[in-house]
Amino acid sequence: MSLTREIIRVKRDGGELDEASLAAFIKGITDETVSESQIAAMAMAIFLNGMSERETRLLTRYMRDSGDVLNWHSLNLDGPVLDKHSTGGVGDNVSLMLGPIIAACGGYVPMISGRGLGHTGGTLDKFDSIPGYQTHPTNDLFRRAVHDVGVAIIGQTGSLAPADKRFYATRDVTSTVESLPLITASILSKKLAEGLDGLVLDVKAGSGAFMDNEQKARELADTLVRVGSQLGVPTRAVITDMNQPLAPCAGNAIEVKSAIDYLSGNNRPNRLHQVTVALAVEALLAGGLADNSDSAKESVNRVLESGKALEVFEKMVHTLGGPHDLIERMEDYLPQAEVIKPVLAQQNGYITQIHARDLGNAVVSLGGGRLTSIDKLDYSVGISEIAELGAAVEKGQPLAVIHAANESDWQRAANQVIDTIKIDSQKPQLTEVIYASLQE
Query: What confidence tens digit (pLDDT) does each residue in 338-368 have?
Result: 999 999 999 999 999 999 889 999 999 999 9
Q: What is the mean pLDDT of residues 102-110?
A: 98
The active-site residue out of 21, 60, 186, 258 is 186
| pLDDT above 90 (res 175) | no
Concerning whether 378 is annotated as a catalytic residue, the answer is no
Concerning whether 370 is annotated as a catalytic residue, the answer is no
Concerning whether 74 is annotated as a catalytic residue, the answer is no
CA 298, 301, 209: angle at the middle one, nearest 5? Answer: 110
Q: Which residue spans of the chain are classified as CATH 3.40.1030.10? A: 73-329
The active-site residue out of 60, 123, 176, 384 is 123
Confirm or reject CATH 3.20.20.70 for domain 4-50, answering yes or no.
no
- Give Cα 73 distance to the centre of its chain: 27
The active-site residue out of 190, 257, 271, 357 is 190
Tell me the C-alpha distance between 175 and 429, whole Å.
35
Q: Which residue spans of the chain are classified as CATH 3.90.1170.30? A: 334-424
CATH topology of domain 334-424: Aldehyde Oxidoreductase; domain 3 (3.90.1170)
Residue 161, SS3 per DSSP:
coil
- The beta strands (E) that lie in 278-369 are given as 339-344, 349-354
The active-site residue out of 171, 204, 357, 403 is 171
Tell me which of 3.40.1030.10, 3.30.43.10, 2.102.10.10, 3.65.10.10 is the CATH number of domain 73-329: 3.40.1030.10
Concerning whether 84 is annotated as a catalytic residue, the answer is yes
The active-site residue out of 11, 61, 64, 84 is 84
Concerning whether 324 is annotated as a catalytic residue, the answer is no
| pLDDT above 90 (res 5) | yes
Concerning whether 352 is annotated as a catalytic residue, the answer is no
Amino acid symbol at 361? N
**At a CB cut-off of 8 Å and minimum separation 6, what does 294 contact?**
none
The active-site residue out of 11, 61, 119, 191 is 191
Give me the pLDDT at residue 440, please: 80
Concerning whether 123 is annotated as a catalytic residue, the answer is yes
Concerning whether 191 is annotated as a catalytic residue, the answer is yes
The model's confidence at residue 141, banded by pLDDT at 50, 70 and 90, is very high
The active-site residue out of 65, 83, 197, 241 is 83
**At a CB cut-off of 8 Å and minimum separation 6, what does 43 contact?**
167, 170, 171, 174, 176, 179, 182
- Give Cα 63 distance to the centre of its chain: 20
The active-site residue out of 21, 60, 86, 179 is 86
Give me the pLDDT at residue 169, please: 85
| pLDDT above 60 (res 197) | yes
Q: Give tens-digit pLDDT for 229-265.
A: 999 999 999 999 999 999 999 999 999 999 999 999 9
Concerning whether 85 is annotated as a catalytic residue, the answer is yes
Helix (H) or strand (E) holding 151: strand 151-155
- The beta strands (E) that lie in 305-388 are given as 339-344, 349-354, 382-384
DSSP letters, 391-435, are: -EE-TTSEEEEEEESSHHHHHHHHHHHHHHEEEESSPPPPPPSEE
Tell me the C-alpha distance between 121 and 92, whole Å.
7
